[in-house]
Structure 1
Amino acid sequence: MIRAAIVGGAGYIGGELLRLLLGHPEVEVVASTSARLAGRRVDGSHPNLRGLTDLVHSSPDALPDCDAVFFASSGLDDPAQRAALASRAKLVFDLSADLRLTDPALFAKHYGAHPTPDLLGTATRGLPEVDRAALRTANLVSVPGCMATAGILGLRPLVEFIDGPVTVDGRVGSSGSGASAGEMNLHAERANVLRVFAPLGHRHQAEISQATGLTVRMTATGVDAVRGVQVLCRTQVRAGVTETDIRKAYRAAYADEPFVRVVAQKRGNYRLPEPKILLGSNFCDVGFALDADTRELLVVGALDNLVKGGSGNAVQSLNIRMGWDERLGLGFPGLHPV
C-alpha cells in the first residue's frame, strides 16, 4: 500500500483522481490540497464521493510526505511552491500542461514563457501505450492533454502511411475547461452551442506533432456535453495503402492493450468512436475511414477527457511504475444508455 496526495484536488481532474484512487486496492489517499477550499470536506466539492471519504481539503503548504503526489493543476504561478510540493514524494505525476512540451520556444508559443524552462524535457510522458518501458522506472511523469491523447493514439500507428500534413478537428465537453472556467461556461452561455474556441493552432497540436513527427494543424470546438472528447484527423495516405494495411497496423499496435479498442465498422449507431459510451471509463476508442480513390484518410479517436484524457492515464502510469496490473482501479467500462 502506498500513500498518495493530490495537489489541486477541488477541480474536475482532482475529483476524478480522488474517485479512482479511493477505489484503488493499493493506494491510500492521505491528502487533497486546495488553497480556495482549505478546511472544507472533499465530498463538498465532489458530492459523488459522499460516504467514501472523510478527507478535508488542506492548504498546499500542509501537504504531508507521501509516496506519490499528483498535480491536478498548474504550479507555474509559484514555481518555488511547486518544487517544494514535488519534493514531498518520490513519484510525481503532473496532469497539467507544465511539462508536456520539451522545447521552451514551442511552450512559449502556446502557453507563454516557462518560468523554469530547465524542467522541460525532464519528465517521462504518461501515455502507457507509447511510453510503457520508460514508465517502469520514471519518477517524474507528465500526462498528455485529453485531445492530444486521442490524436496520438489514433495517428501514431499509421505514421508510415501518412503523406502530408494532418488537420485535427477536436470536440470537447464543458468539463474540459475546468471547474473555474468563468462566464463562458455558464449553462446559459454553453448550452446548445457548437463554439469554436480555438479556430487555429490549438495548443494540443504541438503535443501531437511532438509524439508523431507529423505536421499537425488543429482547431477545437466546445460541444453541448459535459464530458467527452472526439477528434477527427484528416490527411492523405501514400499510394497503394489499403484498408487492410491500416487495420493490420492498428492490430499490431493495440492487440494487447487493455484500454485501446479499434472501432471501425460498416454499420450501426456506434460504428466509429463515440465518447458517449466511454464516459467514466479509461478506454480510448480509435477508428478510421479510407477513400481508396482519393487516398483521403479520416482517423477518429474518442475518450472521456477526465479519465483516459487525464486521471486514468495517470493512474495507469502509476500502476506500471509500481509493477501492478495496469487495470487496477480502472475497471469501470462506461455506461449505455446514458
Structure 2
Amino acid sequence: MKVRVGIVGGTGYAGGELMRIISQHPHAQVVYAASRTQAGQPVATSHPGLNGLTDLAYETIDTDAIASRCDVVFLAVPHGASMALAAELVPRGVKVIDIGTDFRFRDPAEYKQWYGIEHEQVDLLAEAVYGLPELNREKVRGARLVGNPGCYPTSVLLGIAPFVHAGCIDTSAVVVSAMSGVSGAGSTPKQMYHFPECTENVQAYGVPGHRHTGEMEQGIRELLAARGGGEVCVSFVPHLVPMSRGILATLNLRLTQPLTTQDALHIMREFYRGEAFVRVLGEDRLPQTKAVLGSNFCDVTARVDARSGRLIVLSAIDNLVKGAAGQAVQNMNIMFGLDETAGLRAPGLYP
C-alpha cells in the first residue's frame, strides 16, 4: 500500500517539484493538493510538465480532509502559515513536513529575530526535527513533524559539517558567498526577478542579514555541541544569477591546524562515507550546478590555500530538489521506513 501524500501550497515551484518527484515514486502517491488561489483548477494548469501524469485538481485547504485521506502532508506555504496547520494535523496522526520556515529553528526567539513574528506553537517547535538527513537521520526517523531546511543552509551545512566535526576550522569567522537561480525566490512576481531585470545580470541581495544566516549558525552550533560548543558567526552574502535553478556556495574558512587539500578531501570522504546523495569530488573536478540539475545530489569538494591559511569549500545543489522538495521526500522516506533513495535516483540533467 502506498503512502498517501497531501500537499498544501501546491501551485508554487516547490509544490510542483514535489508532485513531479512523487509521480515517479514507487511507494507514495499524491492524493490531495490544496491551493488558496486555484481551487478547482487541474494541477497541470500551474505545472504543465505534469500534464498526462495526474488528473488531480486543487482543493481548498481542509484539515479534516487531510486528516482522513493523508498519511503525510507537505506544507509548501509562506512563513507564518504552517503553524496553525501543523497544530491541527500532528495530534491527529498526520506526519507533517514543513517546507516553509516555521519549524526550522529550535528557539522561538531566533525565529522572531529572523522572521519578525512570534511563534505561535512553541511546544511543536520544540518537538520538530531539523530535516537534514545526513546530519539528523535518526531523529528524522522517529519524527512526527520535520522542518525541512532552507536551500542555502543545506548547501552550506553539508559543505562545512565534516570540518566542524573534525575540529579544524574557526567557526567564529565563517564567510559564505553563494549564487542561486531565480526559482529560489519563489513564483510570486517581483521586479528584480522580471526577465529584463535578471537576465545578463548578477545581483547581491539581502546584505547584510539574509534570513538563512541564522539557520546556518544554528546548524553549526548543533554540530559544535558534540565537541563541547564554541563561538559561531557566519557572514553570508547571496547572489541572484540568471538561471532558473541551482546553488553554488563558496565557504571561506580559517584553519586552526595545518591541512593539505588531500587531508581535507579525506575528512570529507570519511564523513560522507555511505551517503547516497553527497558526492565528494576529487582534485580533478569542482562542483557545478549543471551536474546536479533536477537531482537530489549535493556535490562538494575542498581546497586548501596554503598561502593564506584558508580552507575553501565548494557545494552545489539544485535549490528545488536537495534544497527543497527532494530533501522533503528523502525525509518522508526515512519517516516511513522506506528506501531513503526511493523516487530520488535520477541523475543530474547534464548538459
1:180-219 aligned within 5 A? 180-213=188-221, 214-219=232-237
The secondary structure found in structure 1 opposite 2:312 is: strand
User: TM-score, with normalisation over the residues of structure 1?
Assistant: 0.94
Matches of 1:25 and 1:114, distance apart in 2: 40
- What are the ranges of 5 or more consecutive residues in structure 1 without an aligned counterpart? none
**Contact 1:288/1:299 (CA < 8 Å) preserved in 2?**
yes
Alpha-carbon distance, 1:152 to partner: 0.2
The secondary structure found in structure 2 opposite 1:198 is: coil
Match in the other structure for 1:232 = 250
Match in the other structure for 1:44 = 45
Matches of 1:284 and 1:126, distance apart in 2: 15
Q: Give the letter for the 1:154 counterpart.
A: G
Match of 1:134 among 133, 139, 144: 139
Provide, for residues 130-151 of structure 1, a one-character-per-residue CA deviation record: whole Å limited to 9, x for no partner. Answer: 0111111111011100010000
**Contact 1:104/1:113 (CA < 8 Å) preserved in 2?**
no
Match in the other structure for 1:103 = 107
Provide, for residues 101-126 of structure 1, a one-character-per-residue CA deviation record: whole Å limited to 9, x for no partner. Answer: 11222222211123415143321111
Q: Give the letter for the 1:34 counterpart.
A: S
The CA RMSD over aligned residues, in Å, is: 1.7
Match in the other structure for 2:226 = none
Q: Give the letter for the 1:12 counterpart.
A: Y
Q: Give the letter for the 2:50 counterpart.
A: L
Match in the other structure for 1:91 = 95
The secondary structure found in structure 1 opposite 2:62 is: helix
1:144-163 aligned within 5 A? 144-159=149-164, 160-163=167-170
Tell me the matched-pair count. 333
More moved, 98-107 vs 238-247: 238-247
More moved, 314-323 vs 109-118: 109-118
Following TM superposition, where does structure 1 have runs of at least 4 consecutive aligned residues deviating by more than 6 angstroms? none
**Contact 2:82/2:102 (CA < 8 Å) preserved in 1?**
no
**Contact 1:108/1:114 (CA < 8 Å) preserved in 2?**
yes
In structure 2, relative to structure 1, the CA distance for the partners of 1:322 and 1:110 (3 Å cut) is same
Matches of 2:119 and 2:109, distance apart in 1: 12
Match in the other structure for 1:112 = 116
Percent identity over the alignment is 41
- What are the ranges of 5 or more consecutive residues in structure 2 without an aligned counterpart? 222-231
Alpha-carbon distance, 1:79 to partner: 4.5
**Contact 1:166/1:215 (CA < 8 Å) preserved in 2?**
yes
Matches of 1:195 and 1:311, distance apart in 2: 25
Match in the other structure for 1:23 = 24
2:129 is the counterpart of 1:124: yes
Q: Give the letter for the 1:151 counterpart.
A: V
Provide, for residues 271-312 of structure 1, a one-character-per-residue CA deviation record: whole Å limited to 9, x for no partner. Answer: 211111211000001112211232111111110000000111
Matches of 1:325 and 1:286, distance apart in 2: 23
Match of 2:344 among 326, 330, 333: 330
Matches of 2:151 and 2:245, distance apart in 1: 11
User: TM-score, with normalisation over the residues of structure 2?
Assistant: 0.90
Q: Give the letter for the 2:211 counterpart.
A: R
Matches of 2:234 and 2:214, distance apart in 1: 8
Matches of 1:7 and 1:88, distance apart in 2: 17
Match in the other structure for 1:221 = 239
